[in-house]
Amino acid sequence: MLSKRIIACLDVRNGMLAKSVKFVDTKDIGDPVEKAQEYYEDGLDELVFYDITASSDDRNIMLDVVEEVAKKVYIPFSVGGGVRSVEDASKLLWAGAEKINVNSAAVKRPELIAECAHAIGNQNVVLSMDILRREECREFPSGYEVVINGGRTPMGVDALAWALQGESLGAGELVVNSIDADGTREGYEIKLTRMIAEAVSIPVIASGGAGKPEHLYEVLTEGKADAALVASMVHYGEYTVSQLKQWLHDKGVKVRLKY
Amino acid sequence: MRVAIVDYDAGNLRSVQRACQAVGLDGFITASPEEVLAADKIIFPGVGSSVSAVDTLHDRGLFDVLIEAFHKGTPLLGICLGSQIVLEHTEEGDKDCLGLIDGVVERFDFADRTYKVPHIGWNEINIAQPHPLLRQVEDGDEFYFVHSYFTRPTQQANVVATTDYNINFCSILAKDNLFATQFHLEKSGRKGLSILAEFASWEGGSTC
């Protein structure tokens, strides 16, 4: 039986680990390579790195980080932030990433998903979606809107429609990131995650809002997510990856315990 | 020892090369039929479509070389797509493959939509018969899978392990000096690396 995955999300700025709260006010918290290795040793299933470097001139630093991680960590990891072309995607894969994440650039130019899927395979293309809660209306029938630029720019696109379009364009997985929940540590957006997970036939990774083990349990059961993204709850040492997995296992969720 | 990692434009060969390095195995990436044939061991990884993979093997003169290497006893390790192309035929693009093991490759086709395709993530293997490359692996250990097609060997003797994903499919197959995993052992943590480490000292054969 397939296990539910626990994925740690590492925001990287200028080669250093940062944790964003509602995507503003970020604060450096260490070396991403060391953290990645620590989580790997502790049984993490997968990693996601988001490059939040402001200037594109500094993007090569991220490639160095990816090279270093790939030498030390033998689980899948994906990289996102600033992927605007097949060339960007190919560079990251060559450096050692298993998958790439597209986000803002794909909302602005959806063909990017198809181009990447064609060049590097659907299974290696993850569509990350930043989503804000809205009143249900004609424009947003799902009650959620896609936003970009770290949540600052609403795009007038319905979240569910975008998820379905992303799948049909060739995305292999979806990250459903709730901007409302992100950084609150009060739990994932269950309703949103479940709505998208039930509508698509590719894996859905829930993101934003994890603060307690119960939150992971909720989103992996009621929320129907295939994987749960965690960040601050493990970055500051409050929980370890192995503790979270043991806790989920004890609650009857199938997770990988032997590693 | 010269370990050839066969380059047929099918996925991230560097990941496999790095995993080799992690267990002290010095793998070199090559598309040369002469180098592949002369190698002491051969790894053929792969992701993507077996249609283009098989075409590329033919174009580069590697198709017959892999068959020849198998018959002369070179230890071979297939990974993911590399485990599918060793069978006789694949449904994917209706392609004839290497035919080193009797059987076919089929697509997951589930009426139950809770089973998503591709099968992505960590899943357990159930060991059907012991094998020297699984010395450090136990029944129920988990490995990382990404695939939409699966192998169906004709002979049970070639099934080393199975995995349950709505159906019970063959996740490791082997025959003589050939061993092939549907999962990405290079992305499966320590358990995956242990298979590579055992491959380093494997002479071929299934005696434990």
In a domain, B156, yes or no: yes
Mean predicted lDDT score pLDDT of chain A = 92
Q: Is B106 a catalytic residue?
A: no
Q: Which domains, from first to last, does chain A contain?
A: 5-250 (3.20.20.70)
A199, exposed or middle or buried, with CB in 10 Å at 0-12, 13-18, 19+?
Answer: middle
Quick: pLDDT tens for B135-179. Answer: 999 999 999 999 999 999 999 999 999 999 999 999 999 999 999
β-pairing, A153-158 vs B142-147, is: unpaired
Report yes or no: A83 at the B interface, CB cutoff 8 Å: no
Q: Tell me the nearest-neighbour CA distance from B203 into chain A, angstroms.
A: 25
Cis-peptide into B45, omega within 30 deg: no
In a domain, B89, yes or no: yes
- Please give the interface size between A and B, counted as residue pairs whose CB atoms are below 8 Å apart: 86
Specify whether the CB–CB gap between B25 and B196 falls below 8 A.
yes
Say what the pLDDT of residue A26 is: 55
Whether A5 and B122 lie within 8 Å, measured CB to CB: yes
Which residue is closest to A39 within chain B, CA to CA?
A: B189
Q: Is B80 a catalytic residue?
A: yes
Whether A258 and B138 lie within 8 Å, measured CB to CB: yes
Distances (CA, A) of A57 to A14, A60, A61, A84, A233: 10, 7, 9, 14, 31
Q: Tell me the nearest-neighbour CA distance from B74 into chain A, angstroms.
A: 26
What's the number of CA atoms in the CB half-sphere (13 Å) around residue A58? 11
In a domain, B169, yes or no: yes
Residues of the domain holding B177: 3-201
Specify whether the CB–CB gap between B180 and B85 falls below 8 A.
no
Which residues, at least 6 apart from B99, have a Cβ–Cβ distance to it below 8 Å? B67, B86, B87, B88
Nearest to A202 among B116, B144, B193 (CB): B116
In a domain, B33, yes or no: yes
Nearest to A258 among B12, B117, B142 (CB): B142
Quick: pLDDT tens for A132-172. Answer: 999 989 999 999 999 998 778 899 999 999 999 999 999 99
**B146 torsion bin: left (phi>0), alpha (psi -120 to 50), beta (else):** beta
Say what the pLDDT of residue A151 is: 78
Chain A interface, best mutation among B7, B9, B12, by max A CB count within 10 A: B12
Angle, helix B13-22 to helix B189-201, in steps of 10 degrees: 80
In a domain, B207, yes or no: no
Which residue is closest to A2 within chain B, CA to CA?
A: B123
Q: Is A11 a catalytic residue?
A: yes
Q: What is the 3-state secondary structure (H, E, C) of chain A?
A: CCCCEEEEEEEEECCEEEEEECCEEEEEEECHHHHHHHHHHCCCCEEEEEECCCCHHHHHHHHHHHHHHHHHCCCCEEEECCCCCHHHHHHHHHHCCCEEEECHHHHHCCHHHHHHHHHHCHHHEEEEEEEEECCCCCCCCCCEEEEECCCCEEEEEEHHHHHHHHHHHCCCEEEEEECCCCCCCCCCCHHHHHHHHHHCCCCEEEECCCCCHHHHHHHHHCCCCCEEEECHHHHCCCCCHHHHHHHHHHCCCCCCCCC
In a domain, B206, yes or no: no
In a domain, B73, yes or no: yes
Question: Which of A88, A130, A158, A182 is labelled catalytic?
Answer: A130
In a domain, B58, yes or no: yes
Distances (CA, A) of A82 to A47, A55, A86, A150: 17, 10, 12, 12
Chain B residues with beta carbon closer than 8 angstroms to that of A94: 12, 14
Rounded Cα–Cα distance for residues B4 and A252 (Å): 44
Whether A226 and B193 lie within 8 Å, measured CB to CB: no
DSSP state of B186: G
Strand partners, B112: none
**N residues, chain B:** 208
Tens digit of each residue's pLDDT, chain A (259 residues) = 999 999 999 999 888 888 654 444 556 668 899 999 999 999 999 999 999 876 666 678 899 999 999 999 999 999 998 899 999 999 999 899 999 999 999 999 999 999 999 888 888 999 999 999 999 899 999 999 999 987 788 999 999 999 999 999 999 999 999 999 988 899 999 999 999 999 999 999 999 999 999 999 999 999 999 999 999 899 888 999 999 999 999 999 999 999 8
Q: Tell me the nearest-neighbour CA distance from A26 into chain B, angstroms.
A: 31
Specify whether the CB–CB gap between A194 and A223 falls below 8 A.
yes
Q: How many domains is chain B partitioned into structurally? A: 1
Chain A residues with beta carbon closer than 8 angstroms to that of B142: 3, 256, 258-259
CATH code where residue B61 lies: 3.40.50.880
Specify whether the CB–CB gap between A132 and A177 falls below 8 A.
no
